[in-house]
Amino acid sequence: MTKSPALYRVILLVWAALFGLALLTTAGSLSREITQRPVAGVLALVTLLSIGYFWLNGIKDVLYTAWYYLVMRGRIRPVRRRELHRHPPRVVMVYCTRNDFNANSLAASMKQRYTNVHTVILDDSDKPEYLTMIDIFAATHDVQVVRRENHVGFKAGNLNNYLTGADYDYFVILDSDEIIPPRFIRRMLDYFASDRSIGIVQATHVATRNVTRFQQKFSLGVDSHWPVYQSVKNRYGFLSLLGHGAMVSKQAFDAAGGFPLMVAEDLCFSLAVREHGYTTVFAPDVTCQEEFPVDYLAFRKRHSKWTQGNMEFIRKNTRPIMTSRQLHWYEKLDIVLFTYALPLTAVFSVFVVINVVVLPMMHASLQFPLWMLIPTVAFLVAPMVNDVVFHWAKMAHTKLLSYSGGSMMLYGSMYFTSLRSSLKSMFGNSVFLVTPKDSTAISFREALRSTRSELIFAGVLAVISLVFTRSVFPVFLLVLPAMVAPYLMVRHQPTRAELHERQRGKVLQAA
């Protein structure tokens, strides 16, 4: 598929008009501030630029959704089906696991309507119960198990350990909770046959097996994100392998030199593949199933992994991205707006310090035009626009409103996690964290203990704001979600019936 810069031209045009108006209406006050108090003036300019970047992200979220529904929907045409050659390609399904083996998911994924395929379990587990469970499954289903002596390189190292010397034409990546449809391989081969430059085909996903209340409440975002954002990226941005539910050609794997040994191995691999002339495409008609994190703690752990992975990506790939001759300018901008968002929490903290501590200490007060509050508030809720539009006709509006408000609190409460993870990765090593698949009922006291870092952060931030600005309002949107974190944890914790159902599933798998 030929990519187009049309969407990002519109995004930049809208942003330039809006931010240009902001510059015009603040130019006089900024000029006076810089002339009379240079330091305060420069800090004011930094604040305005920060607002401009925030607006750019918000415009991107709004126009991504609008573009899909107004321009793309109804015009997306999956590739046509093709006849297989006399000698069908050799395909291997690689199932990655580390103490989170799910026999039911793997057994369901293995029911492929394709003959020249075999399955390999890449097992990095170190818990005896999982080692035993995997060995029993492998013996029962005639599946190969590959284990390595060291766990260097996280998931990337696990994949490279097997794929580098294996005999295959294509491989399918399965995460522990992944379920791919029976025609997955057959349909993916149609995409590869449509264009020789394709190196990766990424399928879409829906969230299923939502047993816990946390999953039932917040998994709606999975169903709306995949078809909309990935379809738009496929045509107008940088589409990346998203870690699972995808097929990769051996030619692309060999050209890239395997998976980079990084936490965000999927994103880094996609970039390496692209630099060697291969592309990643989206298959909207191939729907896989995944599980949403079971509870608040699992969600927080996954969020930390994503943040660390993206920060590591920024540190090691910013220069290659900016100097790349393979990537179009709008693909580079797409990578920046999507990938840099989580780690830039640390940079946003500088914005908070400037406006809550430094400027008040200087007895300087920034007076921006009142109209600028309107787009700022609008873009604050911009990430929820796609969810609302997607589910508007499919569910009760009161439930959708509850989901939207809860999601804003949930993601808002991740600010401290993003900050801590960003700093950890910035000044240390990023760590690949496996999202827990089990959940336990906890008391409110235990929830307070589990979120004490968020609560302390919120309390300190509120006190600092009170001391320097005599108000909590400047940091209210950071303090409130953090204070709500214990409630989110307890309110959506699994019931006894849910815990029993998950335990029953584990027993059946072990059997």
What ranges do the domains of the chain cover? 91-293
pLDDT of residue 497: 60
Residue 187 pLDDT: 96
Amino acid letter, residue 305: K
What confidence category does residue 1 fall into, taking pLDDT thresholds of 50, 70 and 90?
low
The predicted pLDDT at position 56 comes to 95
pLDDT in tens, 81-138: 887 777 899 999 999 999 989 999 999 999 999 999 999 999 999 999 999 999 999 9
Bridge partners, residue 122, by sequence:
96, 146
Residue 111 has what pLDDT?
Answer: 96
What token pair was written down for 406?
């809860």
Output the CA torsion 265→266→269→274 (10° steps): -160
The 10s digit of each residue's pLDDT in 296-339 is 999 999 999 998 888 888 888 899 999 999 999 999 999 999 98
pLDDT value of position 509: 47
pLDDT tens digit string along 342-395?
A: 767 767 777 788 878 887 887 776 678 889 989 988 998 999 999 999 999 889
Please report the pLDDT score of residue 198 as a whole number.
96
Cα gap 402→213, rounded to integer Å: 13
Give the pLDDT confidence score for residue 439 in this predicted structure.
74
For residue 199, report the phi and psi dihedrals to the nearest 5 degrees: -110, -25
238 to 30, 267, 334, 337: CA distances (angstroms): 37, 10, 6, 11
Q: What is the CA radius of gyration of the chain?
A: 24
| Residue 499 confidence (pLDDT) above 60 | no
Q: What is the pLDDT of residue 474?
A: 86
The chain-wide mean pLDDT, for the chain, equals 89
Kindly tell me the sign of the dihedral angle through the C-alpha atoms of 470, 476, 482, 486.
Answer: positive
List strands edge to edge, sheet with 198-207.
Answer: 144-146, 117-123, 91-97, 170-174, 246-249, 198-207, 279-290
Q: How many CB atoms lie within 10 A of CB 444?
A: 12
Confidence band, pLDDT 50/70/90 cuts, at residue 2: confident
- Read off φ and ψ for residue 188, nearest 5 degrees: -65, -35
What pLDDT is stored for residue 508 in this prediction? 45
Q: Which of 272, 267, 408 has the alpha carbon at shortest distance from 334? A: 267
* DSSP-H helix ranges across 184-295: 184-194, 213-218, 220-225, 231-236, 250-256, 265-275
* Maximal CA-CA distance, the chain: 79
Superfamily of domain 91-293 in the CATH hierarchy: Spore Coat Polysaccharide Biosynthesis Protein SpsA; Chain A (3.90.550.10)
Closest CA to 219 of 206, 228, 229: 206
What amino acid is encoded at 34 in this protein?
Answer: I
Query: Using DSSP, how many helices (H) and how many strands (E) does the chain show?
Result: 23, 7
pLDDT at 510 over 80: no
175 pLDDT higher than 60: yes
0.75 exceeded by pTM: yes
Task: Tell which residue, 43, 4, 44, 18, has the closest CA to residue 382.
Answer: 18
Straight-line distance from the first to the last Cα atom of the chain, in angstroms, rounded to the nearest whole number:
46
Task: Check pLDDT > 90 for residue 203.
Answer: yes
Range ranked top by mean pLDDT from 164-173, 210-219, 416-425, 492-501: 164-173
Nearest CA to 411 among 492, 473, 477? 477
Check: CB of residue 391 under 8 Å from CB of residue 400.
yes
Residue 449 has what pLDDT? 92
Report the C-alpha gap between 4 and 204 in whole angstroms: 21
The token pair that represents 53 in the structure block: 């970047």
Check: CB of residue 207 under 8 Å from CB of residue 277: no
Q: What is the mean pLDDT of residues 430-456?
A: 85
Residue 151 phi/psi, 5-degree rounding, is -115, 35
**Residues 118, 94 contacting (CB under 8 angstroms):** no
Residue 325, token pair as written in the block: 């001759």
Mean pLDDT of 391-403: 92
pLDDT for res 6: 97
